Structure 1
Amino acid sequence: MNFRTRIFSISILTVSAVLALVISLSWSRIMKVELERIDVRLCMEEKRIMDFHLRKERRGNNPLSDFPMSSNAVNSDDWLINDLMQKLRINSASQLMIFVESNKSGVLTQSEGVDVQAVVSTLNSESEEQLASADRNGATVLCHLVFFEHNKSQWRASFYHTAQAQSFIAVDVSATTYQLKSTLREALIVVIPFSLLLCILGAWFIATNTIRPINRLQKAMNMVTQKDLSHRLPEHKADKEFKMLIDAYNTMLDRLEDSFQQISRFTADAAHELKTPLTVLRGKLEQAVMNEDTAQLDLNAILDEVGHLSAITRKLLLLSQADAGSLALHLETINITNLLEQLTADMELLSDELVLHCSIEQALITKADNVLLRQLLNNLLVNVVRYSLHDKSVTIQAKQNEFQIDVLISNFCLPMSDDVRGQLFERFYRGDPVHMQGISGSGLGLSLAREIARAHGGDLTIEPSDKNVFAIRLLLPTVK
């Protein structure tokens, strides 16, 4: 099942369920109102019938002047029953029970074909309800109401008591609501097909409007290719939820485009860096072959270029492992204090003009790969030697800051713009040409150093400083 069909089906089911719920609640409310009407009518008619029979008992004749009968009625009792059948909306006298009894004359009237007194004796007085209503003269009528079952049908009964007599009327509830059910059934024959048609149209409208932004997103995705990652989805006239999806999609494309461009630059720069030593090697070897004199083969120069190639290859391998998250670490406990003191001592031997100001706390212990950590610190210190102004000092500070070892290295250099500082961690980037005069390198040192720091759970960042000062901070976790 595709998405459009699923939306269409869910919409139809939802609207149908709501429609069924509305019809059910409406019918329940109608039935409640109808039962309340029956209760009031039963109480009113019960008192009226009792008064009729009491007057009849007192006068000894039928007080027909108060109750005009139709021509089809044989006597007053028949007229009363027919009148009740019309008012209670029933079609048969078998759906009605009447019983009137006076203290003076006994039973005045009762329905035929059923022992009403036996039915009354079985009723549970605990389930009775009381209803107070006003009759046609404005007097308050208080009667007792009760539900009971007779001949597998639900009946509603009303009791009315006075000092002289008592009366009882019961009606088959299903008979009184038959007309309502018929009316509802006839209405549903028209309403249900029309409602289903509206459901289908509404579901189609909902599905179409829901799928439209998804189709637009699909078309935009189909336009994205390896050669063109610049296409973005517009956000105008989009719902909030789809705006979030569009923003996430555009952000993903931004990252993909940046990564693709970075990989392209990395590939081009790597080819350029490898091309130079390979060209030198090829030139030396061709020169020796053309002269046919191996004595002219400059082995030292060839070894230097081979070493340069090996260093670049090794750095590229480590960077690729770091990108893939598979940089192998052989962790061991390392004293950063001793390692920094050893490396700074080597730096002082390499340059007589370099002035070092070291502030290194004792017993700075971490767990790291000894070879990679040494390479990280060596790269940082070599950059200090290469790019610092030798008439200025170099500061190396190392201390423990809560759960981290904080190493800050700063030196004076030629003025460096913020744009240059922001690109120093890019691979094969070596800075402004003014800084690079007479200095060799591949531009991979800082990139590799940062990846090594992050692989150990730390980080390497360039700190804000004056344009003629370069400060870099290394953070490494301490041993817990």
Structure 2
Amino acid sequence: MYFRTRIFAISILTVTAVLALVISLSWSRIMTVELTNLDSRLCMEAKRLIPKRTLPDTNNPAANINNLRDTSLSGSRLMTDLTDKLRVSSPNQLMLSVGSAEQGFLTAPTGVDVQDVISRLHWLSAEPLALTDNYKANAVCQFAFFEHQQNQWRASLLQASNQQSFIAVDVAATTSQLTSTLQAALIVVIPFSLLLSILGAWFIATNTIRPINRLHKAMDKVTQKDLSHRLPEHKEDKEFKMLIDAYNTMLDRLEDSFRQVSRFTADAAHELKTPLTVLRGKLEQAVLSENSSQLDLNAILDEVGHLSAITRKLLLLSQADSGSMALHFEPINITELVDELIADMTLLSDELELDCVIEKGLIIQGDIVLLKQLLNNLLVNVMRYSLHHKGVTIHARQNESAIEVVISNFCLPIPHDVRVKLFDRFYRGEPAHTQGISGSGLGLSLAREIARAHGGDLTLEPSDSEVVTMRLLLPIVK
């Protein structure tokens, strides 16, 4: 499903649900108000049907009924009048009872025992009325809601002294006109609302998809050969600016990775070219020479060893880049390992002055081969580039949950722009520092990757231009 279609469908469903909810709540409120008004009208009509005060004749009840009929509307005229006022279509939708137990009751419609209906009702409320007629003092109007012949009815009972009037009306009959009016309105409102909903949903979907289309067109301009293009952020909403920032940041990292891979490939080809050229020259010389004993095997072995070392470092760096550097963890005594490497350094140079402070019992879990290569790379750099007569400082101690090894040595001044590149692969510094010193420029970068593979890090600490301080942190894994 297209994103535009999904937004369009969600908008239509939302508007439809809101419209249905509004209509439902409005109809419920209208019906509540209508029933309240109906109760008031019923009570008013019940009050009107109470006859004027007359003295009852206990010897002639029929005369009392005739008197009741004469003092108010009677017969068909009474039902017609109530039908008009209560907005019903037929007298059969009304129940009426007026009179008293002494005088008798005038009831309608025929065939319905209205008094029995009254006796079975549960009255909901009683509203006292203030009447001017003394005979009707203490009048009370009560309301009831009941079911009769599968229809819902609303009733009002007014009692004043010994007189009472009862009126009930079919609710559906009184609200039929309101229902018809609502249906007629909905016939017009619903299609018009749906049309507006469709137009509104289409407008929302179009405006929502427009910035995405702009981003899509901008992304199409980014190719493998041109990673420098960035998405514009102006005139975009805040949410899309966040997306654009994330995308541009990803492009920055991707461009840096491509640039680093290109530089790494060129540097690797350059570094491998030298030993391969030497090997080829030596072998061609041996082939062309009549005396094979003149073959310089030591030089060939040196170049093969150099080539093998570069290849192994490149392989380890490739594994580090892909996060697949294989580590064989075992307990390692860093104290003994550092002491052993320092002893090798002192054998190689009698002029080297060492200031060593190594704590005892520094144990971690790690790969012995890789950690030995890490420390060896650091110490080889010290041997190659330090000023031996000024001394080298090596401190190793436990720092909370990690082992810290700090190696500091004096050297020729190194400017800041060179220091920031010391961990770059194949970077060997300025020619003045590396003249006559062999190396591939992979030692420090490989050492840092090994440290990070163990959960630690190798950093260059801030110092004077004539001092290089390396700080190695290795976590203690229990």
TM-score of the pair, normalised by structure 1: 0.92
1:292-348: CA deviations, max 9, x gaps? 443443222222211111110010111111222222222221111111111111111
Distance in 2 between the 1:20 and 1:133 partners? Answer: 41
1:364 offset after TM fit, Å?
0.5
- The residue that corresponds to 2:60 in the other structure is none
Percent same amino acid at aligned positions?
A: 70
Distance in structure 2 (CA, Å) of the matches to 1:122 and 1:284: 123
Letter in structure 1 aligned against 2:200: G
Aligned to 1:11: 11
Q: Deviations over 1:360-388 (max 9, x none)?
A: 00010112211111111000001011111
AA matched with 1:30: I
1:427/1:447 contact within 8 Å kept: yes
Which residue of 114, 122, 127 maps to 1:124?
122
C-alpha displacement at 1:2, in angstroms? Answer: 1.9
1:80 is matched with: 78
Gap change, CA 1:54 and 1:88, over 3 Å in 2: farther
Q: Distance in 2 between matches of 1:307 and 1:340?
A: 25
- Letter paired with 1:164: N
Taking the aligned partners of 2:269 and 2:418, their CA distance within structure 1 comes to 23
Residue in structure 2 matched with residue 149 of structure 1 by the alignment: 147
Q: Can you give the 5+ residue segments of structure 2 that lack an aligned partner in the other structure?
A: 56-62
Offset of residue 157 of structure 1: 0.5
The structural deviation recorded for 1:156 is 0.4
Alignment of 1:35-434 (within 5 A): 35-51=35-51, 60=67, 76-125=74-123, 128-131=124-127, 142-434=140-432
Report SS of the residue matched to 1:430. coil
- Local SS of the residue matching 1:170: strand
Which stretch has the larger CA shift, 193-202 or 454-463? Answer: 454-463
The one-letter code sitting in structure 1 at the alignment partner of 2:320 is A
Q: 1:365–1:479: 8 Å Cα contact kept in structure 2? A: no
**Structure 1 residues 255 and 54 mapped into 2: Cα distance closer, same or farther (>3 Å)?**
farther
- Hey, what's the Cα distance between the residues in 2 that align with 1:326 and 1:49? 98
Instruction: Name the CA distance, whole Å, in 1 between partners of 2:132 and 2:79.
Output: 20
Report SS of the residue matched to 2:121: coil
Match of 1:447 among 445, 448, 462: 445
**1:27 shift after superposition:** 0.5
Secondary structure of 1:354's aligned partner: coil
* Alignment-mate amino acid for residue 95 of structure 2: M
> What secondary structure, in the 3-state scheme, does the structure 1 residue paired with 2:389 have?
coil
CA positional deviation for 1:270? 0.3
What secondary structure does 1:177 align onto?
A: helix
Q: How far apart are the structure 2 equivalents of 1:77 and 1:353?
A: 136
Letter in 2 for 1:256: L
After superposing the two structures, state which structure 1 stretch, 110-119 or 315-324, moved more.
110-119
Following the alignment from structure 2 to structure 1, what is the Cα–Cα distance between the partners of residues 313 and 103?
Answer: 122
Q: Which moved more, 1:10-19 or 1:409-418?
A: 409-418
Distance in 2 between residues matched to 1:21 and 1:5, nearest whole Å? 24
Task: Answer yes or no: is the 8 Å Cα contact 1:235–1:243 preserved in 2.
Answer: yes
Cα shift readout 1:188-228 (whole Å, capped 9, x = no counterpart): 11111111101110111111112122222222222221111
User: How much does 1:133 deviate?
Assistant: 6.4
CA contact (8 A) 2:12 2:198 kept: yes
Contact kept in structure 1, 2:138 and 2:161, CA below 8 Å = no
- Corresponding residue SS for 2:326: coil
Greater shift after overlay, 200-209 or 294-303? 294-303
TM-superposed deviation, 1:136: 10
CA distance in 2 between partners of 1:140 and 1:61 (Å): 21
Deviation at 1:254, TM superposition (A): 1.1
> Which amino acid counterpart does residue 11 of structure 1 have in structure 2?
S
Aligned residues of 1:96 and 1:170 also touching (Cα < 8 A): yes
- Confirm or deny: 8 A CA contact 1:40 1:133 kept in the other structure: no
Name the amino acid aligned to 1:47. Answer: K
Distance 1:281 1:212 in 2: 62
Report the TM-score when normalising by structure 2.
0.92
Question: RMSD of aligned C-alpha atoms?
Answer: 2.3
Native 8 Å contact 2:51 2:68 kept in 1: no
* 1:405-457 per-position Cα deviation (integer Å, ceiling 9, x unaligned): 11000111122222222211111111222221221110100111111111122
Judged with a 3 Å threshold, the aligned counterparts in structure 2 of structure 1 residues 134 and 391 are, in CA distance, closer, same or farther, namely farther
Task: Say which is worse superposed, 301-310 or 279-288, in terms of deviation.
Answer: 279-288
Q: Relative to structure 1, is the Cα distance of residues 414 and 130 closer, same or farther in structure 2, using a 3 angstrom cutoff? A: farther
How many angstroms does 1:132 deviate by?
A: 5.1
Quick one: distance in 1 between partners of 2:426 and 2:120? 103
TM-superposed deviation, 1:92: 0.6
SS in 2 for 1:236: coil
Distance 1:255 1:195 in 2: 50
Structure 1 residues 452 and 364, CA, compared in 2 at 3 Å: closer, same or farther? Answer: same
Matching residue within 445, 448, 458 for 1:460: 458
Query: 1:61 deviation in Å?
Result: 8.4
Kept in 2: contact 1:393–1:412 (CA 8 A): yes
Q: Secondary structure at the match of 1:218?
A: helix
Letter in 1 for 2:460: I
Provide Cα deviations, 1:155-178, integer angstroms capped at 9, x if missing partner. Answer: 000111111301111000000000
SS at match of 2:50: helix
Given that residues 394 and 405 in structure 2 are in contact (C-alpha distance below 8 angstroms), is that contact kept between their aligned partners in structure 1? yes
Q: Distance in 2 between matches of 1:327 and 1:11?
A: 51
Asked if 2 retains the 8 angstrom alpha-carbon contact of 1:53 and 1:108, the reply is no
Cα deviation, residue 349, structure 1: 1.2
Q: 1-side partners of 2:95 and 2:69: how far apart?
A: 22
Q: Deviations over 1:62-111 (max 9, x none)?
A: 778xx8xxxxxxx6443332222222111110111110122541214443
Give me the whole-angstrom Cα distance separating, in 2, the residues matched to 1:201 and 1:364: 74
Which amino acid in structure 2 is aligned with residue 434 of structure 1? A
Give the Cα–Cα distance (whole angstroms) in 1 for the partners of residues 454 and 422 of structure 2.
21
Instruction: Give the secondary-structure state (helix, strand or coil) at the position aligned to 1:112.
Output: coil
Query: Whole-Å Cα distance in 1 between the matches of residues 252 and 241 of structure 2?
Result: 16
Residue 403 of structure 2 contacts residue 474 of structure 2 at CA under 8 Å; is this kept in 1? Answer: yes
Deviations 1:122-178 (A, max 9, x none): 2134xx2234567899x9964111100001000000111111301111000000000
Q: Which stretch of structure 1 is more off in the superposition, 343-352 or 322-331?
A: 322-331
Deviation (angstroms), 1:290: 4.0
